[in-house]
Structure 1
C-alpha cells in the first residue's frame, strides 16, 4: 500500500506564542511524504531524505495516529520518508508541512482520503506535534495554512479555524544560516507583548494582512531578540514584512519588482534569499 502527498511551507502573519491566536499563509515551497504500509511486520519507521540523523518521531507518530483511526486490523506498520525544499528550524513551518504531507500520504495509502476533512487531518498532525514536543502552541495556524492554502487565522488553544482567505502575493524569503527551534522559544517574553498580538489579530481578522505582518514582526523580533534590520530595509517597499514563526527567517510580501529590489539588499547578508509566491490549494496527494 503506497501513498504520497506534498504540503506547502508557510509564512507568519501573527505568531501565536503571545495569546494563542495565530495566522499564517501558504507559500510555494514543499515537503513531500511517501508512505509504504505493510501487513507483515510491526511498527512504523521514518527517514528524512536531507538528514539521516534527523528526528523522525513526528512523521512516525502521524502515520501511527492515522493507522489507529483508519488502518484496520490487517495493517501492522509502515515506513514514511519525507523530502523537503523547506529548510528545517527556519520559521517556515517545516514541521507542519511534514506532518500534513505524512497524514495525507498515509490516508492515500489506505485509500481513505475522504474519511477525514482536511481541517481534521491538520488537527491530527497538530496532535502528533504536541505529543512529540516540537511545538509550544500546537501550531494549528501553521498547519491549517499549509493544509488548506491561502491565509488562515486560528485559535490555537482550541484548534478552531477563525477565518480563511485567498491571497495573491509575491513573496520574498530571507533565511540566515542559523537555526531556531520553535520548542526552544522564550514563551514568557512573548507573552509580555500580548497587547501587540491582540492588535495584530484584529488587523488580520479585518483583512489587513500586510500591516498585521509588520506589527507582528517588530514585536516578536524584539521579544525573541532578532535583528529588525532586514525588516526596516524592506518596509518602505513592501506590503508587509515579518519575522516568520520563531525565526530566523524574514518574509516580505508585495509587488514583485519591489521585492526584487529588497532581495538585492538582503542578498548582501549571510544566508539565502529567494522569491516565491503564495499557494492557494494547500496539501494534496500526488
Structure 2
C-alpha cells in the first residue's frame, strides 16, 4: 500500500508570531513524500539528501493520519525529497507535513477535505515541536495554493484568494529554525501586526508584506538592505517566516533586475511564480 503526494513551499505576508494572525502564499518550489504502509512494525522516516535530519515531524504526520483515518494500525516508511531548503523561512516543514499527510491518505485510499488534512499536519507539527504558532497560515497556503489569511490560535481560515504573482526568493546559506525564534521580541510589535492583518484582509497583500518585512527584520535582527534594494519597484517584499530568506513579488522584469543585486550575496536565488493549485496527491 503505497501513497505519494507533493506540496509547495510558501512565502510570508504576515508572520503570526506577533499576534496569532498570519498570512502566506504558495510558491512554486515543491516537496514530495512517498509513504509505504507495512504490516506491523514502526514508522520510520528519511529525508533525501539529509541523512542526519530530524524526521520526527514526517513520522508523526504518518502516525497521526493512521490513528485518525485507518481502520487498523500500520507500520510505515516515509521518505521526502524537496526543492525547499530546510530552516530557510520558506515553510519547508509545512510543505513536508502536507505532502506526508496526503501521501498517507493516498496509501490508505481515504479522501479528506484540504483544510482538514492541513489541520492534521499542523497538529503533528505542534506535537513534534517544530513550530511556535502551529503555522496554520503557512500550511494552509501550501495545501490550498494562492494566498491565505488565518487565525493560528484557532486554526481558522479567515480568507483565501487565488493570486498569480511572479516571485523572487533569496535564501542565504544560514539556517534559522522557527522554534528558536525570539517570540518575546516579536510580540512587542503586535500593534504593527494588527495593522498588517487588516491590510491583508483588505487584499492589500503587497503593502502588508513590506511592512511585515521591516517590522520583523527589526524584531529578529535581520538586515533591511534586501528590502530597501527591492523598493519602490516591487509590489511587496518581506523577510519570509523567521528568516533568513527574503521574498519579493511584482513585475517579472523588476524582479529580474532585483535578482542581479540579491545574488551578489552568498546563497541561492529563484525567480519563480506563485502556485494556485496547492498540494496534490499521486
Indicate the TM-score class for this superposition, using the shorter chain for normalisation: over 0.9
Match of residue 45 from structure 1: 44
Give the structure 1 partner of residue 206 of structure 2.
210
Cα RMSD, aligned residues only: 0.6
Q: Are positions 1:18 and 2:18 aligned together?
A: yes
Q: Secondary structure at the residue paired with 1:47?
A: strand
Residue 270 of structure 1 deviates from its aligned partner by 1.2
In structure 2, the residue matched to 1:54 is: 53
Which residues in structure 2 correspond to 1:161-240 (within 5 Å)? 161-240=157-236
Q: Which runs of 4+ in 1 moved over 4 A?
A: none
2:279 to 271, 278, 283: 283
Structure 2 matches for 1:1-286, cutoff 5 A?
1-39=1-39, 41-73=40-72, 75-112=73-110, 114=111, 116-286=112-282
Contact 1:237 1:262 in 2 (8 A): no
Cα offsets for 1:217-249 (capped at 9, x unmatched): 000000000000000000121000000000000
Instruction: Judge conservation of contact 1:50–1:84 (CA < 8 Å) in 2.
Output: no
Report if aligned partners of 1:193, 1:223 keep a CA contact under 8 Å in 2: yes
Shift of 1:71: 1.6
In the aligned structure 1, how far is the partner of 2:197 from the partner of 2:15? Answer: 10
Kindly state the Cα deviation for residue 168 of structure 1 after the two structures are TM-superposed.
0.9
What residue ranges of structure 2 are gaps of 5+ in the alignment? none
Secondary structure of the equivalent of 2:93?
helix
Q: Secondary structure at the match of 2:36?
A: strand
Distance in 2, matches of 1:48 and 1:176, equals 21
Once residues 274 and 283 of structure 1 are traced to their aligned partners in structure 2, the CA distance between those partners, rounded to angstroms, is 20
Query: What TM-score comes out, normalization by structure 1 length?
Result: 0.98
Supply the distance in 2 between the matched residues of 1:65 and 1:240 (Cα, whole angstroms). Answer: 37
CA–CA distance in 1 between the matches of 2:265 and 2:62? 39
Give structure 1 stretches of 5+ with no counterpart: none
In the alignment, the residues of structure 2 paired with residue 151 and residue 283 of structure 1 have an alpha-carbon distance, to the nearest angstrom, of: 13
CA contact (8 A) 1:172 1:274 kept: yes
Counterpart CA distance in 2 for 1:79 and 1:261 is 44
Three-state SS of the structure 2 residue aligned to 1:42 is: coil
Distance 1:281 1:168 in 2: 11
